[in-house]
Structure formats: structure tokens, C-alpha cells
Structure 1
Amino acid sequence: MDLKARARSDQFTVELIRAMPQLSIPQALSASIQLSGSVDFSHFQDFNSIRGLVAGLQLRPLSEWEAFGYAPTEDAPAIKLEVPREKSTAPVTLADHYLSAHTRRVSDEATHLIPHDKCVNGWRRRLGSATAPSPRYANFTTSERGRRIPQRRIEMLGNLWKVGAVASWELIREDATSWCHPDYYPQAGERPHPGTTNTIAWYHIRLHPDIGRDAVVEIARCLAEISLGYVEKFWGPESEPGTLRGPESEAAAYIALERLWVPQRSRHTDWFLRYKSGEPMDTDFRWEAVFRAAAEIEDILRGDTEPVIAH
């Protein structure tokens, strides 16, 4: 595969992961790998054509197709995806998924199929049961300096404490859009507290007050820096940093936020312009690490992460 086709293949993978929040990121990544084998990426000349391709893919599990009176066609290729496990020691099981193009109606008595976009949007808007607005982020809803943020995103910020993080507006420094650094080094076995404040937070994410609606984007990017190893990580598997802090953290946030129904950055970064134009990423760019970071960001902000334990 030449470099241009490789870049289009990367776009296909990223955009499919962004477009399918009903699948976990590892599942969506696996689906993209299985589906890409039948796609000749040299036929797609630009980013919009790749997005159009992804938008037309309607992938559902076999059990769902059957429940609504559909069956795979005789030559339909099954997309086999691992079923999420509650424990890592549980046995691995795979579930067959099929594209709508490879199914046919076999029963008129079944309930009408729920529109695919309605299903996807429901998953995209879902927040974890423990998600709740935090009083400390009340000032994020004010309209001062255009920083008004919808209540749903404020609820997401109420999950930051689970990884020992807090976010606040920076009123002194003006040399960047955000800053993330450890403020407190937890002891092994320590858990963050729901009432985490600036003084006891493991991480303090400081936001430039002029970034407006991009506040959540910056918070996601800062979380990516932790997950990618650019900022010391106090929980879970340790991450070795790469050499492309900005591009990798931007990419991880770009993937996670679409799945969370949060608009992408209002001003395009150099990484996004390069990605959109189909330029190959630098050889040191770590897509696998980016996908892992995106999954971690999504789980934190959606509210699916339990309070972590410091290692």
C-alpha cells in the first residue's frame, strides 16, 4: 500500500471509530481492520469521500438483525467482534456482526427496525449512571468571554475527580490554551476523593479563559497527555511517552469527543489539517497508543470509569 492509500486507510479507521460509539473503541478498530480488506483506498481521493463511505456503513450484531426479521445473505462476510468482558480472566467470545448491505428481510411479522442513526445517536449521548454535575464547575456555564458550556458537558466534568483531576480557568498565564501538571503525588493504594479541590488534586488542568466552547476539547487533550505518558500517570499501566505530544494528544481527543457528542475544536490544528489532507503521519506517530488514550478519555468523561487507585 502506497503512502497516500495508507493515509486514506488511517482516515477510514479513525472516522469509523468516531462514527460507531455503539461499539467500544477496540471493537470499532477491529471492525475497521476487517472491513478495510475489501476497500480499495486508491479510489478515494479526499477526506470527504472517506467520511461518505463510513457514513453509509450500517453495522449491527446478528442477534439484532434476527430480532427485527433479517438474516445475512448466503455470501455475507461476518465481522467478528469480541464481546466486552467484565473481568480480564473471563473467556473470550466473539459475536458476528453484519452490514445492512449483506442482509435481507425474511419476516414481515417482526418489529420495525430502529433507524441506525437513532441508535447511534442514543449511544453517543449516553452518560454513565454515576455522572452528575459538580458545583465546582458552575462557572463553566456562564457566558463571560464566550465560555458558556452546555449542562451535559458540565456533567462530564463531574467525572474528572475519579482520576484525581480538576479543571479551572487560568487567570495569570497567557502563553498557552491549557496546562496540565501533577499537583500532588498520591501514595500507593490511595484513591481520589469526590470533593477533590485544587489543593489536593493529583492533576490540575488550567484553561485559558478565552478558549470558550473549546474548554472540553482542551480537557480531553490534557487527559490524553496523561494517558499517552507525556504527563506522569499515577494509576493503571504506566505509559511510555513518544515524541509527538501535540499531534498524538490532539488525535486522541478528536476521536473520543465525537463519540461523546462534543464538537471538535473550533479552530483546526496543524495535526488535523495534515490528517484531513491525507498527509502520512510521522513515522514516530503511535496510532495504537492514540486509540488506547481515546478509549480512556471516553470512559472518564462518559462516567464509565470507577475511581482509580494509585500504583
Structure 2
Amino acid sequence: MRSTLMDIAREAGVSPATVDRVLNNRQGVRERTRDAVLETARKLGYLAAPFSNSVENTGKIRLDFVLPAGTNTFIANLLSQIVSQGALQDDLDIRIQSIEGFNPDTLARTLHALVGVTQGVGVIALDHPTVREAMRALSLSGVPIVTLASDILHVPRAGYVGIDNRAAGRLAGYLLGRFLGEGKKRKIALFAGSLSYRGHEEREMGFRHVIMEEFRDLDIVELREVRDDRQRAYEEAVALFKRHPDLSGIYNIGAGNAGIGQALQEAGMASSVIFVGHELTDSTKRFLLDGTIDAVIDQNPRVEAREAISVLKNTILDRKFEHHPPRLQVIFRENIPES
């Protein structure tokens, strides 16, 4: 049975509140007390012993990337880039942990299981108390963490690799508003993977603020969460079009563009509804070319993979490095980059 905060407090001779401050890396605890609490937590098995980050001991640096499974093409492209770029570096051993992406307890268990096993972790994480606790446990065991695509605040981490999602949402709102132009009141709808992802929540906030500030004639009639699944996105879109046949615009915050695009085409609404989505994939390229999607806001998975590996590796080796975060890029039919 796993030890509790009360067990650690009793064994270390401090209060449970002090243990909580130490384990959550808060200020207000003397260094000697902090060391005693951490040593007790390790002795009781609450935390693993510090993992040796020495390349000499292992031959290679082990990095684990915890990514959501499913039909999200951007995640698949990111995974592919992490594996291929990692394979080019002989001193790295990269492992992929693919899990059900919308279950915080599954994610937390996966992160806890990596304590004492890995030397660095990259994760696309839900912002949830159990996940934050698992990330703190990893960090306290000496494992640097990088959040990818969607950040989590108030947890120790080596860095965030991804775009400014609030800015991305504002950009999407501006594009949709400019495409639709001024005129009578018109309906628009939002799709999201899950607002449990801080990145999706930030995009929604940015989008709503721009609409409220600059395009008050646009009425957001619905927000549907589709768990980044193309079939679910298709079904929700079909139902949405039946409820609102006069819909004028769609912003898809996450994945599922293929399902929404298919539903638009089948309903004969592809040319009348302005559609703004994220990530340049094979399906979004096709929809850009045939006019189903009007604009795609892209973050380059190759750059994201490169930077995540760089931050983790250089943090482990305690080396200085320059971080070059991925930039927002808007892609239309006329500027689709070469593969």
C-alpha cells in the first residue's frame, strides 16, 4: 500500500502542511527540513530514489514521450517526427507511451510509472489535479518534463514547446470574421477536442474575445467537444447542420477536420460555410484545395519534435542551449508548402 502524506509527516516529525509544501515545491520551508521530508518520502516509497542522469551509466539517455492515441493526424505526425529525429542521435533511447488521451487517471498512472525509469519526459497533458501531482512527483525525482502543444502551469517543468494557443484562437476569430465580412447577424459554431486541455481552452478564450471585440454580428450558437476523433466530429457536425442549416462559419479548435469536412460536403454546405481549422495534414490539404477549408493555422510538428528533444537532452546534460519555439503560420490554398 502506498504511503500517505500523514505517514511522511509522522516519520519526518513535521506537520502534514509542511509535507504538502515540500512535495508541491512551494516556498516557506527551510532547506534542512525540505531535505528531511524528501528523504523520508523516498524511504517510505512515496517517491523513487533520484535517477542517475549519467550517460556513462546507461550508455544512452532515455526519453519518454507520453502522447494521446486516436485519430489525431497532428499527433501521429508529431510522434513520427520524434521517433525519426531521435533515431539520428546515437546517444538517445526514445520511447513512446501512447495512451487514451482524455482520461486523466490513465495519464497520471503512466507518469507515476516513469518515476525512476526514465531520464526525461515530454507530454501532451490534460490540466487535471491527478496529472499535476504525477508531474510534481516526476520532477521531484529529478526527471525534467516538457509539455507539448498544450501547457500546464504551476508545475515544475523544463519548458513548454508549442504555439501561443490564446493567440492562435484570436487569429482564428479574426480570420473567420474577416472572411464573413460585415452584415446581418450570422451563426458560427465551435468544435474542440476537450477543454480539459489548457491549449484548447485558451484557443476558445482567444476566439471568443476577438468575436466579442470586433465581430459582434457573429453569434456563437454551439460548442461541441469531439475528443479529437474524426468519426465523432462527423456525427456532431451532421447533427449541427440539421439544427442550424443557416450556419455561416466553423472554427475547429482541435482535430477532427476530416469528419467536419466530410459532413460539410455531404450537406452541400462546403462552399457556403467558412471553415477555419488547425494543422496542415493530408486531409486538410485536400480540403484547402477543393475549398472546403478556407484557412489552416499550423504549428510545425518537425520543429516541435526537434525543440522538445533539445530541451530535454540539454537540461539532462546541464548544457546551455537556445530555444526556438514553433511559430504560428496561416496556410491558405494559395500558399500550401511543398511536402
What's the TM-score once normalised by structure 2's chain length?
0.24
Q: Which has more radius of gyration?
A: 2
Of structures 1 and 2, the one with the larger relative CO (CA 8 A, separation 6+) is 1
